[in-house]
Amino acid sequence: MRTDSVRIVPEAADEARRYIQEIYGPEYVPSDAKQYSTQKSAQDAHEAIRPTNLNHSPEAIKPYLTREQFLLYQLIWRRFLASQMVPAIYDTVSVDLMGGEGILLRATGSIMKFPGFLAVYEEKHDDEEKEDDNRLLPDLKEGQSLLLQELTAE
C-alpha cells in the first residue's frame, strides 16, 4: 500500500487507547484521541499505514519474520502506538558551575519529568553529539560538588 496519509479510522484510535491504558496506564492516554493534519500534497486516498492488531506485538511475531520484516513491523507498530499517547514532559534547566579560578561554566538542557510516548518510541539521530538543544542533564542538587576532570580556556 502506498500512502502518506496520517488519517486513521476511529476504531483503530479506540483500540490504541485501550491498549495504552491496559499496558502503560491511564496517565499515558490523552483525554481525546489524537488526530493529525494532512499536508496539502498528501495522497489521502488510504488510511495511514498501521498494525491491524496491536495484540500482535513485534516481539510476539518475531519468530515468523525475517530480520528486515521485523524491523519494519516494529517501526510501524511503535510509531502508531506512540502517535496516540500523551507527549513527554521535560523541565528545561540551566546549571551554573564554578570551576578553576573564578571560571563560570553554564550547562543548559532538560530533565525528563514524564516519558509519555517515549515509553514506546524514541527516534534516534545519526549525529546525536550535535544535538545541543536537547541534552539531558543528570539530576543535580544546588550546592552539590562535582568532580572536575578537565578545564580548558577555549
- Give the model confidence (pLDDT) of 74-83 as tens digits: 999 999 999 9
pTM of the model: 0.71
- Give the model confidence (pLDDT) of 74-110 as tens digits: 999 999 999 999 999 988 888 888 876 778 888 888 8
Least confident of 26-30, 32-36, 122-126, 143-147: 122-126
Rounded CA gap, 61 and 12, in Å? 20
The b/e string for 13-51 (b: 16+ C-beta within 10 A; e otherwise) is bebbbebbeeebeeebbeeeebeeeeeeeeeeeeebebb
Instruction: Tell the residue number behind the cell numbers 487507547, with chain if given.
Output: 17
